[in-house]
A and B are shown apart, each in its own frame.
Chain A
Amino acid sequence: MTPDMMIAAVLILPLLIAAGIAATGWLPNLREGVTFVGAGLLFAIVIMLSLQVAAGGRPELYIGEAAPGLEFAFKLEPLGALFALVASGLWIVNSLYSVGYMRGNRERNQTRFYICFAFAILGAMGVAMSANLFTLFVFYEVLTLSTYPLVAHKGDAAAQRGGRIYLLTLLGTSIGLFLPAVMWTWVLAGHNLDFVQGGLLAHAHVSPAVASALLILFAFGIGKAALMPVHFWLPNAMVAPTPVSALLHAVAVVKAGVFTIMKVSIFIFGPDLLDATPGREFVMWVACFTMIVGSLIALTKDNLKARLAYSTIAQLSYIVAGAMLANSSGFLGGSLQIAAHAAGKMTLFMCAGAIYVATGATNISDMKGLGRKMPLVFIAFLIGSLSIIGIPPLAGAWPKYELMQGAIDRGNAYLPIVLIVSSLLNIAYLLPIPFLALMPPPGTKEPKPFKRPDGAPMPTVLAPLITALLCLILFFAVGPVSDFLAPSMGDRAAAVAAGGLP
């Protein structure tokens, strides 16, 4: 297959999967088979594309113009390839998990669920591969609209309310702020929206005030990045079934948001212009604020998914902060965080879902001593937590390291302190959960018996173990990953890849 055919295949395959799911909806086993085969194929193609990218190729596909100058065009570069790999690879794991979860919970409308999931993957793939801001914006909205039915899946009053907030916030910020930013960029760049290495606006004579305003429009318009105060859709989206929270609200949707911010920083602003933009510092403060306050709110939550949601909000800001450092260490740290946080947080969410299917428990206070009955789940949870906190030898250690390095490189004194405080807060809100479950203090009363006689279904235990293992592997794979990302990041990443491992 030629590269452009492969890109086309990545875009068409989710549609075929959706059609296949619709056609086989009355035979659940066949339907799940379609999902697995399709997801496997998709991942295989994305790997092939990534190999080409690693070899220096930049697969491209030009579909056509929506209107003069506004092209549907795709071009895969390392950062996008990383995001595509993460989203499509974890989709396989998540499909395995969904089967166990949805059946174990006897959810209704499963066919619609899987169809919308396929469309969401299409959105994520489109965002990852887009060659210009217009294409990215369109697929960004595809992702919003296709995930709305997933959030409102249960259809009860709470799900409807959560869905409405989800849709209104994401559509409102994207149409209200992101779209004007896109239009403004179009005019500033002289009727062009392409992603250019070094920055589309780098030579456009943009005044610092205009650049600041534009950056702030982007930072808050991309609501999926969940910077405070546009973060509240994320906790509200937790009414969705857990597989949705695991893949979409820890990986595809939120990562599409921060990926977009990263992409705008590197390819629209470019390091030099971003460095000269005063508004950058403001966005950095907001990101630091979000890190600390998100973690503090997480501490107060007893509902496990709510705690994880606020933790996600805090963790996403690492990536925004990395982008705002505007140097290669910052970009690299943020990009590594996309992969590391995906693996770690997905593990945690899948564990939360497994616990819910087995016992019906959603509150942390009901989970004391539960680790004795479901040890594998809580061990996976422990590994995921350690990775999020950033303890070697787990994936989460590298992004924090790179971010601190980047902050020190440019003489930013407060970011390392904020990162350390954030890590301490992570310890405070994450570690008690597995510890109290595995090693309950004497006198804890026995947890309630399982809702299902045979406990969590096998897939819901297996899936988090796989992602926990992935956290471990990613730690050791940082060299190749940095090597892979280097062309988009600049010299520092190249130095890391060249063996300058600290």
Chain B
Amino acid sequence: MIEALYTAAPAWAIQHAAPLLVMVPLFLAPMLALVPSGRIAWLISIIGTTISFLFALILLYLVQTSPVGVVDYEIGRWPVPIGIEYRVDALNAMILLVVTSIGLLASVFSWPTVAAEIRKEKRPFFYSAFMVCFAGLNGVTITGDAFNLFVFLEISSISTYVLVSLGAGRDRRALPAAFNYLIMGTIGASFYIIGIGFLYAATGTLNMGDIASKLPELAGNRSVLAGFAFILVGLGLKAAMWPLHQWLPDAYSYSPSFVTMFLSATATKVALYALIRFLFTVFQPQFAFEQTAFGMLLMPLGIAAMVVCSFQAVFQTDVRRTLAYSSVAQVGYMILGVSLGTTAGLSAGLFHLLNHAMMKGALFMAVAGVVLSYQGTTIRDFAGLGRSAPWTMTAFAIAALSLIGVPLTAGFQSKLQLGFALFDQGLWWAVALVVFSSFLAVIYMGRILEAVFFKPPLNPRKARKEAPVILLVPLWILALANIYFGIAAKFPLDLARSAAAAAFGGEAFLK
């Protein structure tokens, strides 16, 4: 299928796929702000995300068929250490695929919920901000330049603050949540840029590959170590790494439903990608895991996230907050996989990243459907919805089972891979904790599912009210993907494995 797309694409599209993937949505964004009608803005945003998605597929194909496994593009033909470079290998090709496909599904389903939650005159601006955010996330993923990464990180973050605050139309608590997120996010970005400053001071370059090639000579250099620490804290904050996740539950609970869905499946994933990129490509695993033993710090943080936040999820009364805490916990699984410093561990972490995007996307999409029909998002509001909205809730249940890690779902496959990776290192106690955290997931998702399918509805007169078809289609695509990739996990697992191999074989990234 991808091959057919590749042969059909014109030569210029193949040659310039990398910049176009980011530029198309970025240039569509200001146009969207000028469009008078929200509905037209919606249609244009679908076009934008579709184009990016196609480019992501082309890039994936190019990476897979390329002999060195890398596609690089020099912006403005400035040679590398001076100019900005876009560089795609198996690792970020996979992340690009996640971001663009989720972005496409999100933009398709968005209209009914945006129409219900955002005031009429703000809708074009809303879509404009979404496009900026989408372009920013893709930019962070695709760039091979450390400073350019900061720029895109801020582009996506600032637009995210706007998107979150627009939830104020539905719930005023969105405003403090957005402000909180703004402060925390800016601190994170500042840490990151300070870290880049230290690295620049030591190496005199901003290109990631170039930095990486100069770092081995600077072993033991204090400013490199300080830069390392600053960068990882900054990116960890963006990735909602425990205990830097405090902004996330509020931001996810009060922002518009569509924003929650989009962010939960993409934003923290992209920040985590940047973290992985710095750990494995810029600093090299040898430095990160042997000299500084950073894995010893990362592993307890990942475990703490998956245990503590799962506990917090159990005690929430709001479905969106439950899912938000669960997101932090799931990031913990990924970090646990990364912290092993082995290819098996990294590929398990990346594999879970992919699967988590699918399941959380589906869960929040179903919640968006409920908000649309019934407003409330507390667990009590969900009572009896299994009868009044069976299609929405069945998809929700499938994704919930996947989150728990029931066999024949994607979540099971990723836990299996994580368990294999942990056992390989002899960390049986970590497996026990993963299992324990899954058990907490059984409890917190079980509470919701029980309310949905076995409790009588709060208001029995509520008529049968299914989410609109435009929402159900993407929702079911994600739900079925959860099952399909739970049975035949070869495609995503191969993606994750080659991504991990690319991260370790840093040579490919460095030429």
Contacts and interface: CB of A to CB of B under 8 A. Distances in A.
Contacts of A168: 442, 446
Contacts of A160: 450, 454
A203 to B, nearest CB: 19
Interface in A262-283: none
B350 to A, nearest CB: 14
B407 A180 contact: no
B419 A179 contact: yes
Given A141-B407, A145-B406, A186 B420 contact: yes
Nearest to B406: A141
Contact of A179 (B417, B435, B493): B435
Contacts of A171: 406, 442
Interface string A50-68: 0000000000000011111
B405 A64 contact: no
Nearest to B425: A187
B408 A65 contact: no
Nearest to A155: B454
Given A176-B439, A180-B435, A64 B428 contact: no
Given A66-B413, A183-B416, A183-B419, A142 B490 contact: no
- The size class of the interface chain B forms with chain A is 20 to 34
A70 B416 contact: yes
A187 B439 contact: no
Nearest to B432: A180
Contacts of B431: 180, 183
Nearest to B415: A179
A138 interface: yes
B423 interface: yes
Interface in B431-451: 431-432, 435-436, 438-439, 442, 446, 450
Interface string A151-175: 0100100001000100010011001
B487 interface: yes
Nearest to B455: A160
Contacts of A137: 407
B183 interface: no
Interface string A123-156: 0000000000000011001100100000010010
A17 to B, nearest CB: 19
B490 A68 contact: yes
A184 interface: yes
Nearest to A66: B489
B297 interface: no
B424 to A, nearest CB: 6
B488 interface: yes
Contacts of B487: 66, 72
Given A67-B416, A67-B490, A68-B490, A142 B439 contact: no
A180 B417 CA distance: 11
Contact of B408 (A68, A138, A176): A138
Contacts of B419: 179-180, 183
B407 to A, nearest CB: 4
Given A138-B407, A142-B408, A65 B450 contact: no
B454 A142 contact: no
B144 to A, nearest CB: 30
B349 to A, nearest CB: 15
A155 B455 CA distance: 10
Interface string B392-422: 0000000000001111100001011101101
Given A67-B417, A67-B493, A164-B450, A187 B423 contact: yes
Interface in B444-481: 446, 450, 454
Interface in A168-201: 168, 171-172, 175-176, 179-180, 183-184, 186-187
A172 B489 contact: no
Contact of B420 (A141, A142, A172, A187): A187
Contacts of B417: 67
B499 to A, nearest CB: 15
A178 B435 CA distance: 11
A179 B411 CA distance: 14
Contacts of B438: 175-176
Given A141-B407, A186-B423, A65 B435 contact: no
Contacts of A64: 488
Nearest to B454: A160
Interface in A282-340: none
Nearest to A137: B407
Interface in A353-402: none
Contact of A66 (B442, B450, B488): B488
B493 A175 contact: no
B407 A176 contact: no
A145 B487 CA distance: 16
A462 to B, nearest CB: 35
Interface in B204-231: none
A439 to B, nearest CB: 45
A175 B439 contact: yes
A132 to B, nearest CB: 13
Contacts of A66: 413, 486-490
Nearest to B494: A68
Nearest to B497: A68
A68 B493 contact: yes
A67 B413 contact: yes
A184 B428 contact: yes
Interface string B175-207: 000000000000000000000000000000000
The interface centre, meaning the residue of B416, B439, B487 with most chain A CB atoms within 10 A of its CB, is B416
B439 A172 contact: yes
A186 B431 CA distance: 14
A153 to B, nearest CB: 12
A180 B488 CA distance: 21
Contacts of A176: 435-436, 438-439
Contacts of B450: 160, 164
A176 B439 CA distance: 8
A142 B407 contact: yes
The interface centre, meaning the residue of A142, A155, A160, A180 with most chain B CB atoms within 10 A of its CB, is A180
Contacts of B413: 66-67
A141 B408 contact: yes
A135 to B, nearest CB: 10
A230 B438 CA distance: 19
B422 to A, nearest CB: 8
Contacts of B436: 176
Interface string A425-463: 000000000000000000000000000000000000000
Contacts of A68: 490, 493, 497
Nearest to A180: B431
Contacts of A67: 413, 416-417, 489-490, 493
A183 B431 CA distance: 9
Contacts of B489: 66-67, 70
Interface of A: 64-68, 70, 72, 137-138, 141-142, 145, 152, 155, 160, 164, 168, 171-172, 175-176, 179-180, 183-184, 186-187
Interface of B: 404-408, 413, 415-417, 419-420, 422-424, 428, 431-432, 435-436, 438-439, 442, 446, 450, 454, 486-490, 493, 497
The 6 A-B residue pairs with the shortest CB-CB distance in the complex, in nearest-first order: A183-B419, A187-B423, A141-B407, A67-B489, A138-B407, A67-B493
15 contacts: A66-B413, A67-B413, A67-B417, A68-B497, A70-B489, A145-B406, A171-B442, A172-B439, A175-B439, A176-B439, A180-B428, A183-B431, A184-B423, A186-B423, A187-B424
Given A171-B406, A176-B439, A180-B431, 5 more contacts: A68-B490, A175-B405, A176-B438, A180-B435, A184-B428
